[in-house]
Amino acid sequence: MNPSLEPRTIGSLEQMWRKSKALFSVWFAHMTVYRAEILIWMLSGVVPLIMMSVWIGKAAASGGEIEGFTPASFAAYFLAAWVSQQLTVAWVAWEMDFQIRQGELSSRLLRPLDPFWEHFFRHFSERFVRGPFILIIVIAGSLIVPGTRLTPDLWHVLLYLLVINLAFAMRFLIAYCIGVLCFWLENATAFDEFFYVLLTFLAGGFAPLEFYPPAARAIIEWTPFPYLVYYPARVLTGALTAPEILHVIGVQLLWIAVFFVLRAVLWKAGLKRYGAVGA
């Protein structure tokens, strides 16, 4: 083994770490300027909170429980689903669509860093700006329904942090793949809007998957949707066993690998087309 490889590897890792810190710092500072706008975005995604009140009312009308869910467990689930939804927001498809159509991508390609990472750290830092608002709404929501406990212990919180970050990576890669389609389409954002509609209905924001018809749930399980919101929420609330959590993590990693490879293929082919038209 060449002994010079180790220092070279360490140097590369240090350089990557410095670039990551710089990108995070810059985009975090940028995102804090738009705190009010971010709060408005958050309030526009209140479907799980609305459905929480609906299902709590149904449980109360049914004697206090439906399919094992009590008002307190409904509140915990939908609060966790809302938090998961907020932490997996991705708008990169809209940014890519604009940059490709307007030719802004040309100047970004001259930089010594793949534009992918700039978009990634912009999204990643924005989640930290959402943090205080999320905490306030979760505390308020927990106080509304007596006995609501969002998570059973710190261990499930740590597992949730792992699962929700994998879910964020999935959502970001999916949105990036959609955005790259603008190399071939006049408007790729329509696909992102369609994906968001599917996500709203199939990710568990309207109801836990336990309430879906068995045939429909079997199909949904083969898609990435439940691994973006439903399963992270169930991890946080302590509803899954250790083997089930490992299964969720494994499926998430598989979807991340699929969309990472797909993004690379689409990006390489799209750049050839982009350069061919003189951009």
- Per-residue pLDDT band at 6 (split at 50, 70, 90): low
Number of C-beta neighbours around residue 114 at 10 A: 12
Query: What's the Cα-to-Cα distance from 172 to each of 33, 63, 98, 231, 254, rounded to whole Å?
Result: 22, 41, 17, 17, 15
Beta bridge partners of 66: 69
Residue range 149-202, pLDDT digits in tens: 889 999 999 999 999 999 999 999 999 999 999 888 878 888 888 898 899 889
Higher pLDDT, 7 or 156: 156
Report helix angle 115-144 to 71-86, nearest 10.
160
CB 191 within 8 A of CB 93: yes
- Per-residue pLDDT band at 1 (split at 50, 70, 90): very low
Span 256-261, mean pLDDT?
A: 96
- Per-residue pLDDT band at 11 (split at 50, 70, 90): low
Residue range 82-140, pLDDT digits in tens: 999 999 988 898 888 888 888 888 888 887 778 888 888 888 888 888 878 888 888 88
Residue range 205-228, pLDDT digits in tens: 888 999 999 999 999 999 999 999
Q: Report the pLDDT value the prediction gives residue 14, as an integer from 0 to 100.
A: 64
Q: What whole-number distance in Å separates Cα of residue 252 and Cα of residue 237?
A: 19
Question: Which one-letter DSSP state was computed for residue 124?
Answer: H
Burial (CB < 10 A; 0-12, 13-18, 19+), residue 96, is: buried
Q: Report the pLDDT value the prediction gives residue 34, as an integer from 0 to 100.
A: 52
Report helix angle 154-180 to 92-102, nearest 10.
20
Q: Report the pLDDT value the prediction gives residue 276, as an integer from 0 to 100.
A: 46
Given a cut of 60, whether residue 35 has pLDDT beyond it is: no
Q: Report the pLDDT value the prediction gives residue 225, as an integer from 0 to 100.
A: 96
Tokens of 188: 């790729």
Q: Report the pLDDT value the prediction gives residue 175, as an integer from 0 to 100.
A: 94
Span 51-79, mean pLDDT?
A: 84
Considering only 22-36, 120-134, 149-163, 243-257, which range has the smallest mean pLDDT?
A: 22-36
**Which of the given ranges, 13-17, 28-32, 254-258, has the highest pLDDT on average?**
254-258
Query: What's the Cα-to-Cα distance from 34 to each of 30, 44, 90, 139, 262, rounded to whole Å?
Result: 7, 16, 16, 23, 32
Q: Report the pLDDT value the prediction gives residue 9, as an integer from 0 to 100.
A: 56
Tokens of 201: 């209905």
Contacts 24+ apart (CB under 8 A), 39-48: 39/133, 41/89, 42/86, 42/130, 42/133, 42/134, 42/137, 45/82, 45/85, 45/86, 45/89, 46/82, 47/85, 47/200, 47/205, 47/206, 48/78, 48/79, 48/81, 48/82, 48/85, 48/205
